[in-house]
Chains A and B, each alone.
Chain A
Amino acid sequence: MASSDSSLELGPPEPVPTGSALRGRATRRATDTLDAWRSDGAARWLFIWPAVLLILVLSIFPLVASIALSLSKLAFQQGGIDLKLVGFANYQQLLFGLERSHFLGVLKPPNPNGWAIVLATVALTVAAWARAARSDHRRPVGLVLRLVGGILLVGSVWVVVGALASEGGRPGALIVTLIFVFVGILLQYALGLGLAMLLVQQVPWRRFFRIVFLIPLTITPVGVGYMFLMMTDTSKGPLEPIWVSLGLRDFTWVTDPWLARLAVIIGDTWQWTPFVFIVLLAALESLDQEVREAALVDGAGRWQSFRHITMPAILPVTTTIILIRLIEGFKIIDMPNILLGGGPGTATQSMTLQAYVDWNTLNLGRSAAISYLLLILVSVVATVYVSFVRRRVTDLA
């Protein structure tokens, strides 16, 4: 536009440009164009919007569509699908209706141990809220949120205790998932850290072991599921002679619900410990050895060195690993499905597996509702974890 405007201006005639001047003007114009392209505005249009549109199409739309699905019932009819809006009926069925025993479990009045846990939780929650209320930094919104969080916490503990610490209670898919996640991650972290601590030493064959320890991570979860299916088969599996030689011919993993859950946790731990191990190994190898050596020279023991130097140094990596495993762990499906089909009974049926069964029987509304409840659960746990860890890391800093 500038060039056309200038042609309309009245004034002394410009000198006829020479060849080099023309080239210079062209170069300057090209540079101006490039500068314009490099401007934030153009970059936003060229680079950001396509990505935003793709994310909208590929992520947000399914997210919104699945909310609609979770509020609907699906029926097949001539020429297509009829999605009938049923409000929160799918959620109601899972939390209070016919599917409650499968989803939440069978909840009974707590036994003495259960009551102790519930009362302790209530006491701690009230104490924490009272402390926050007395704090100089208190804000009304924060107090309300803490109150809601406290009620949710006590409610969750009540459900878990009603299923696990009661006479005749039984955990449903939600609690089974929590067991898989928390017990699994605890084991994976402990083993992964132990292996990493071992291989960070100058032990013989450390490169070989580093590769060997990583192998489970390279196998597809379905493959790991079938491998553990064979290994836990005590009547005709490849390990049958070992079971027999140990006098465990009639031993079985699968008739007892807790042993079945343990089998799933062992398989999951076998697969995911290498992930924890390799990340922690990298973190440990990057530590400044001089600090540790200085501490040892100053008389610190190995445990003190580990507790006060190593652990704080790897805390940021630890928090990230645990967060990743938390989010991944909640989606556990391959191992319980292939190993036990969610059985015996519903002992190993995770939330994702329950959603999968519903999807397979085209109960799409309920499947979507389970998925949304899982999303809420993961979001709450991850948010609480991150805020807790951030405070701890800040305190340490």
Chain B
Amino acid sequence: MSRNRMVAAAISTILVLTACNTTASPSPSSPAPSSPAASVPASAPASAPAASASAVAAASPGTKFAGANVNILTFNGPQVAEPLQRRAPDWEQATGGHVNVVAVGFQTIYDKALLDASTGTNSFDAYVFNPQWLGDFTGPGYLLDLTDRVTNDPQLDWQDIGPFFRDFNASYNGKVYTIPLDGDFHMVYYRKDILDKDGLKAPATWDDYLTIAQKYNGQDLNGDGQPDYGSCIAKKKGAQSFWWIISIAGGLLQAKGTNEGAFFNATDMSPLFGQNEAITKALETYAKTAEFGPPDELNQDVGGSRGLFTTGRCALTMDWGDIGTLTPGTYAEDKTGATITPGWKQILDRASGKLVACDATTCPNAVDGVNYAPFASFGGWSGAINAKSPAANQDAAYDFLSYMSSPAISGIDVTLGKTGYNPYRTSQFTNTAPWLAAGLSQAATDNYLGAIKASLTNANMVLDLRIPLTKRYEQDVLDTAVSQYLAKELDAAGAEQAIADGWNAITDEVGRDKQLAAYVASLGVQR
């Protein structure tokens, strides 16, 4: 090789190495992980009033976590990320730490977090995510065990958190892995003003729901002279349909308490969402609600149904707790009632696949013969900490999440619709002042919190699926089959077969015994 070629080769090598070095090794001063996601500086303007937060901000700068730079991955809502961004400056002022909220689309959080942890990239110190994914994260040891921390943290006040969220949502296999920031389960909302006027009660069963929806469908419900809708429940593919169908089916599948589970037989992992009369009934009911809904309901997500309900165009809807905090200032203000998700007077006989009547044996938790099974869908946004994050960042991340969940802070945030957070602490039910301050009347507050309490204290609450590849079971297989059924691509039997085949394939891929153990572990905590 001539000298010139050697020089040229050397320069080429240097250029390539320089280029690679530039892309592979970001500057140490760069706070955000290399990511296409929208990285939002936590020190965004704080706008919402918060008495306790203001007090913290007024204090002299703290040094407890000076130098700690915490990257938190969460949903770009703008709900969910909003309170984290708004509260972070106060926490930073009090502790000297820094929080960087990396907000991404809902569909992206799961794979981004899991790939980040599994590949050892560890760009994120903490996640505010769906506790359903604990099965995927705890098995390989990606999350920090918080059991000792939460029980010895006066700021967090662990015992104030509702037992369901403490024991089921935040825990996996007997250990605590997340700090709840939100309490999520479905309820039914109804137009209290028109039902009261007609002497009707809130729907207790899904048959009642359909009767009421049919009665009001096509009537003018908001005084604009136009016909409105009896029911608004979102049905868009790739949105929330798979959660609604679980809510409707829950009371047909589970009667003996949360530990029984509503997704699989806890003996052999055979899917309950398969060919049986309970799922047929649930599918038919879900499709029937579309007959009393807007014409394009098949393409509406929950945002669409919320818009219709709060503008007075729907008599009934099913939603998380958000409707309660969204009604102030809308047509539905002080006209809205909330009630526990309707139940059924029948229950699935798991051996025969047939529906049988509820009695003291088959439905021990039934109330007036109705088996309620409120569904803790999603479970509520929860904060978890990366087990491989540096210790200083773990401590700072824990403190920030604890601060966000503390009664004084969360007690205000759960009353604000813009946060996307719903109540999950005992104190949030007993102290109604923040609710009144947020614009709800005393009657609306009592009704709303009463419905939540009725759900939370129900021993038959359905825990959402939390085993490895949960997202594939629900958001791929179940969602697609339900969508195909609603679009009449499949009949009920075809949809049930598609769900069962898809779920069995995933179970076999991971390993039936492994999935069975994970399923039992997710249900195993005694209250």
Known: A49-B12, A102-B480. A361 touches B486 (CB 8 A): no
A1 proximity list for chain B (CB < 8 A) = 3
Q: Size range of the interface on A?
A: 35 or more
* Residue A78 lies at the interface, judged by CB distance under 8 Å to chain B: yes
B30 proximity list for chain A (CB < 8 A) = none
A110 to B476, CA, bound (A): 30
* Residue A357 lies at the interface, judged by CB distance under 8 Å to chain B: yes
Q: Are B110 and A345 in contact (CB under 8 A)?
A: no
* Residue A257 lies at the interface, judged by CB distance under 8 Å to chain B: yes
Instruction: Return the chain A residue nearest B308 by Cβ.
Output: A236
Known: A78-B140, A340-B299. A362 touches B487 (CB 8 A): no
A221 to B307, CA, bound (A): 25
Known: A81-B119, A255-B296, A345-B237. A360 touches B110 (CB 8 A): yes
- Can you name 13 extra interface pairs (CB under 8 A) apart from A37-B8, A358-B476? A46-B11, A75-B510, A102-B480, A233-B296, A234-B295, A235-B294, A236-B304, A253-B299, A255-B295, A342-B238, A343-B487, A357-B476, A362-B110
Interface residues of A (CB under 8 A from B): 1, 33, 36-37, 39, 41-42, 45-46, 49-50, 53-54, 57, 73, 75-81, 98, 102, 170, 232-236, 244, 249-255, 257, 260, 337, 339-347, 357-363
Instruction: Return the chain A residue nearest B228 by Cβ.
Output: A235
Interface residues of B (CB under 8 A from A): 2-5, 8-9, 11-12, 15-16, 19-20, 107-108, 110-111, 114-115, 118-120, 136, 139-142, 226, 236-239, 294-296, 298-299, 304, 307-308, 311, 313, 468-469, 471-472, 475-476, 480, 483-484, 486-490, 501-502, 505, 509-510
A357 proximity list for chain B (CB < 8 A) = 238, 476
Q: Are B476 and A254 in contact (CB under 8 A)?
A: no
A346 proximity list for chain B (CB < 8 A) = 480, 483-484, 489
Q: Are A233 and B304 in contact (CB under 8 A)?
A: yes
B118 proximity list for chain A (CB < 8 A) = 76, 80-81
B505 proximity list for chain A (CB < 8 A) = 98
B11 proximity list for chain A (CB < 8 A) = 46
Known: A233-B296, A346-B480, A362-B472. A54 touches B4 (CB 8 A): no
A164 to B4, CA, bound (A): 65
B480 proximity list for chain A (CB < 8 A) = 102, 346
Known: A235-B294, A253-B296. A73 touches B509 (CB 8 A): yes
B502 proximity list for chain A (CB < 8 A) = 98
Instruction: Return the chain A residue nearest B139 by Cβ.
Output: A76
B510 proximity list for chain A (CB < 8 A) = 75
Q: Are B8 and A45 in contact (CB under 8 A)?
A: yes
B471 proximity list for chain A (CB < 8 A) = 360-362
A342 to B483, CA, bound (A): 10
CB-based A-B contact count at 8 angstroms: 161
User: Nearest chain B CB to A309's CB is how many angstroms away?
Assistant: 47
State the main secondary structure of chain B at its contact with A: helix
A225 to B212, CA, bound (A): 35
A81 proximity list for chain B (CB < 8 A) = 118-119
Known: A253-B296, A361-B476. A341 touches B239 (CB 8 A): yes
- Max chain A C-beta neighbours (<10 A), residue from B12, B313, B469, B488: B12
B487 proximity list for chain A (CB < 8 A) = 255, 257, 343-345, 347
Known: A33-B4, A77-B140, A343-B237. A362 touches B469 (CB 8 A): yes
Q: Are A234 and B296 in contact (CB under 8 A)?
A: yes
B468 proximity list for chain A (CB < 8 A) = 76
Q: Are A236 and B307 in contact (CB under 8 A)?
A: yes
A337 to B299, CA, bound (A): 11
A80 proximity list for chain B (CB < 8 A) = 118-120, 140
A363 proximity list for chain B (CB < 8 A) = 472, 476
Q: Are B238 and A337 in contact (CB under 8 A)?
A: yes
Q: Are B108 and A360 in contact (CB under 8 A)?
A: yes
B120 proximity list for chain A (CB < 8 A) = 80
Known: A76-B136, A358-B476. A254 touches B484 (CB 8 A): no
Instruction: Return the chain A residue nearest B299 by Cβ.
Output: A254
A49 to B10, CA, bound (A): 11
Contact of B114 among A54, A102, A253, A362 (CB under 8 A): A362
Known: A80-B118, A340-B299, A345-B237. A46 touches B472 (CB 8 A): no
Contact of A45 among B12, B236, B489 (CB under 8 A): B12
Instruction: Return the chain A residue nearest B490 by Cβ.
Output: A345
Known: A343-B487, A345-B237. A42 touches B299 (CB 8 A): no
User: Nearest chain A CB to B95's CB is how many angstroms away?
Assistant: 32
B304 proximity list for chain A (CB < 8 A) = 233, 236
User: Nearest chain A CB to B120's CB is how many angstroms away?
Assistant: 7
Q: Are A360 and B107 in contact (CB under 8 A)?
A: yes
Contact of B140 among A76, A252, A255, A260 (CB under 8 A): A76
User: Nearest chain B CB to A348's CB is how many angstroms away?
Assistant: 9
User: Nearest chain B CB to A66's CB is how many angstroms away?
Assistant: 15
B19 proximity list for chain A (CB < 8 A) = 50, 54
B490 proximity list for chain A (CB < 8 A) = 345
Known: A50-B12, A76-B139, A255-B296. A343 touches B4 (CB 8 A): no
User: Nearest chain A CB to B115's CB is how many angstroms away?
Assistant: 8
A252 to B297, CA, bound (A): 9
A249 to B304, CA, bound (A): 17
**12 examples of A-B residue contacts, CB within 8 angstroms:** A42-B5, A45-B5, A80-B120, A235-B296, A236-B308, A252-B295, A254-B299, A343-B237, A346-B483, A359-B111, A360-B107, A362-B471
B142 proximity list for chain A (CB < 8 A) = 76
User: Nearest chain B CB to A38's CB is how many angstroms away?
Assistant: 10
Q: Are A344 and B296 in contact (CB under 8 A)?
A: no
